[in-house]
Chain A
Amino acid sequence: MNIEVKNLNKSFDDFQLKNVNIEVPKGKIVGLIGENGAGKTTLIKCILGAMFKDSGEVKLFNKEYDNSLKDDIGVVYDNSFIIETYNIKDLNLIMKNIYKNWDQKLFFKYIEEYNLPLKKEIRKLSTGMKKKLEIITAICHHPKVLILDEPTSGLDPVIRSEVLDLFQDFVNNNDNSILLSTHITSDLEHIADNVIFISKGEIIFDKPLKEIKDDYIVLDVDKEELKNIAKKDIIRYKENRIDYQVLIHKKNMKTKYEKYIKRITALDDIMLLYIRGV
């Protein structure tokens, strides 16, 4: 196991992470989804030691938490990076003096491959270029785990696809893994092995993506049709302007509901119904 979190608790005045348990196995991409303020970034910060946990256990590479283990972790945060008045050469100079295994050759290989300008100030790069640079910086010390907080936000579909390819290459050796927190659940549907859904500081589910797809189904019904669905079968439902969306377990699917299935269930639907449904 590359990351193991057990019974993690962290309280603030207005928010609490409650008994969070997650695992990030070797060779897997684990997606972390949830609404804004659900606790994704807090969880990541507790794993990385930027925040102190109130109780619980965080293990990295099956060892008790230790700063030296962070040599094997690459991080991309949302909305922060290095001081942006620096250029890429400065960034290389800093990183090679921080990480023991910093691979300068690999770094400049990627820089060339993605056509990033060496001497331009980072703040003058486009959003896509900056994000690519952050991701490249996170992987060039050969970490075993990438922890990524919204790494694809603000990117156009082409660049997003390039970045997702990079992530898939990263886990190809079966030893590496990724914990990927994102709002763009369609990204996860392409690359994630497991998905953890966190809401209001609690883990709602932590399952293989395939199982989630097989497990849930969303029905589109009107008010009258809603009455035909047994209450015990409904996990959540949400009223829209003209119809209702109903989330049920596939095992509870009955022949009479089949006419209400109108599309393939996406992670977005499940997340939305859990958060906004009743």
Chain B
Amino acid sequence: MRGLIIKDLLFIKSTWKNLIILFIGSLLISVALGNYLLAVCSLPVMLLSSGINTFQTDEFYNTESYTLSYPLSRKQIVLAKYLFTIILLLISTYIGLLIYWLISVIIHPGFNGLNTDMLKYFFMTEAGALIVDSFFYPVIYKFGCEKSRLVLMSIVMLLLGIGSILSVYINTSNITLDLAGGLNFIQTYGLQVLGITVTLFLIISYILSIVFYKHKDY
């Protein structure tokens, strides 16, 4: 299983030039705007979305048949992908905090006022990227990379449709939403709730991936 994680990490290593170029681009935009959120968040998000890219690369090089010839169970193969994602999360957190530190200490010493919010946004961005991964992984295991794009697009359209119907329903009925209370709750417990939500998403995603992968022919 370690071999598969190393295989995916080597893929990230092989894309480091692209990641650096994108990071420099986002840093320049941040400097121009005087807001460093983009610089702090961009590289971690790019790293976390690389998990999906490894699926595409595997499909492009048709490596799945080989992977299934290794002395590993299908469950171990799926687990390797999720462990790789968690390693990406750790790397992205480390890099994000390092960039944050570099900006607040070296590039922009008077940056302290924004620190707490900046970190919150950073963790929220990471959580968002992980939730996207959690959606994508089982869908890719079920349908492959090409079809999964269509499936996810359909899901997004469906959610947008449901959202639109709900908003029309709320507007036309006498339901009042306590938005201020909701915002307060998010301010106070937002990160904890997000952490729990992401963990749940990952666990459900992992279980679904195993179910789909266990029954798929390659």
Binding site for B on A (CB under 8 A): 45, 48-52, 67-71, 73, 75, 77, 79-86, 90, 93-100, 147
Contacts and interface: CB of A to CB of B under 8 A. Distances in A.
How many chain B residues sit at the interface, stated as a range, is: 20 to 34
Contacts of B2: 97-98
A85 to B, nearest CB: 5
A70 B6 contact: no
Contacts, number: 82
B73 A67 contact: yes
Given A84-B61, A86-B14, A97-B6, A50 B218 contact: yes
> 10 closest pairs, A vs B, by CB?
A98-B3, A80-B62, A97-B3, A50-B68, A75-B69, A70-B71, A71-B71, A97-B2, A51-B217, A50-B218
22 contacts: A45-B217, A48-B65, A49-B68, A50-B68, A50-B217, A51-B218, A70-B69, A75-B66, A75-B69, A82-B63, A82-B66, A83-B7, A83-B61, A84-B61, A86-B10, A96-B3, A97-B2, A98-B2, A98-B3, A98-B72, A99-B70, A147-B69
Contacts of B71: 67-71, 98-100
Given A71-B71, A86-B14, A97-B6, A52 B62 contact: no
A57 B103 CA distance: 63
Contact of B63 (A68, A73, A81, A98): A81
A223 to B, nearest CB: 47
A162 B72 CA distance: 31
Contacts of B10: 83, 86, 90, 93-94
Contacts of A67: 71-73
Given A50-B217, A80-B62, A94-B4, 16 more contacts: A45-B218, A48-B68, A48-B69, A49-B68, A50-B64, A50-B68, A52-B217, A70-B71, A82-B63, A86-B10, A86-B14, A90-B10, A93-B6, A98-B2, A98-B3, A99-B71
A114 B188 CA distance: 64
A98 B72 CA distance: 8
Contacts of B4: 94, 98
